[in-house]
């Protein structure tokens, strides 16, 4: 799909009441990596649409430079457990929007607190902005947490995740995306939740780490180099063409 046609599609989305125009990169982004992987088969660079995820650890971000480097979307850490807010969330949230980078917020789940309480904490701090990406529920083990290192039975893991997802979906009007890791995915049967997924796999191709399962986003690096961000940042690819990305935004727009 050509760049002029993509621009027309973006304007149509706006005129039809969809999300405002956002950055779309259709060629290899201007990223590098501190620890590059020699990917077999289809490499991340073969995907048309790329993004980042970040938190307070990335510090101040020059969002116009980030967009110019080829970042089409950003998932931004908002909350953790039932009482922790990332102090950089609001700056990242507003900065991404002003630069035209599609952005969504994610919640890091703790296994020692009620899921409904965590959902309400997320809702309290994340705006229900028009055009925002779906909320994200980050499901993984927390072995280094100073307060919560529990490992629950898989059925209980899924039940707690479902309770969070349902509460958040009711508020934002769209189902959250699940982010997880290969170990957590396999041991807890996360596929059984039937939700759209964002999958981490930084050493193996995502199709090898999660064989046979469809995915929307692939986190392929935790050591990315992106102009406008000091230090390493996570890199992600969207599973589809630039045209598919615009269609997904239109269908998923809050």
Catalytic residues: 53, 140
Residue labelled with tokens 């929307």: 216
Residue 185 makes CB contacts below 8 A (sequence gap 6+) with 191, 199, 210
135, 172 contact by CB (below 8 A): yes
Q: How many CB atoms neighbour CB 69 within 10 A?
A: 21
Burial tier of 100 (Cβ tally within 10 Å: 0-12, 13-18, 19+): middle
Give the DSSP H/E element, type plus range, for residue 225.
Answer: strand 217-225
- How far apart (Å, rounded) are the C-alpha atoms in residues 230 and 247? 32
Residue 9 neighbours by CB under 8 Å, 6+ apart: 243, 246
CB atoms within 10 A of CB 159: 13
Residues linked to residue 178 through DSSP beta bridges, in sequence order: 137, 197
What letters, b where the CB count within 10 A reaches 16 and e where it falls short, cover 34-45? eeeeeeeeeebe
User: H/E element holding 250?
Assistant: helix 242-252
């Amino acid at each position: 799909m050509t760049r002029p046609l993509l621009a027309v599609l973006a304007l149509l989305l706006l005129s039809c009441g969809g999300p405002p125009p956002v950055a779309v990169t259709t060629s290899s982004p201007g990223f590098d990596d501190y620890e590059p992987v020699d990917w077999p088969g289809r490499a991340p660079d073969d995907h048309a649409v790329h993004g980042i995820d970040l938190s307070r650890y990335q510090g101040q971000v020059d969002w116009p430079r980030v967009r110019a480097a080829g970042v089409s979307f950003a998932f931004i850490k908002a909350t953790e457990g039932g009482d922790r807010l990332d102090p950089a969330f609001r700056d990242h949230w507003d900065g991404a929007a002003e630069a035209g980078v599609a952005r969504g917020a994610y919640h890091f789940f703790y296994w020692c607190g009620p899921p409904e309480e965590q959902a309400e904490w997320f809702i309290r701090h994340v705006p229900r902005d028009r055009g925002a990406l779906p909320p994200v529920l980050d499901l993984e083990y927390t072995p280094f947490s100073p307060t919560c290192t529990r490992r629950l039975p898989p059925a209980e893991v899924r039940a707690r995740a479902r309770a969070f997802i349902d509460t958040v979906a009711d508020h934002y009007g769209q189902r959250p995306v699940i982010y997880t890791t290969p170990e957590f995915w396999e041991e807890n049967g996360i596929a059984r939740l039937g939700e759209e997924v964002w999958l981490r796999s930084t050493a193996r191709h995502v199709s090898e780490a999660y064989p046979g399962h469809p995915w929307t986003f692939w986190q392929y690096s935790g050591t990315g180099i992106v102009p406008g961000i000091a230090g390493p940042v996570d890199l992600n690819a969207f599973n589809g063409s630039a045209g598919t990305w615009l269609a997904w935004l239109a269908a998923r727009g809050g």
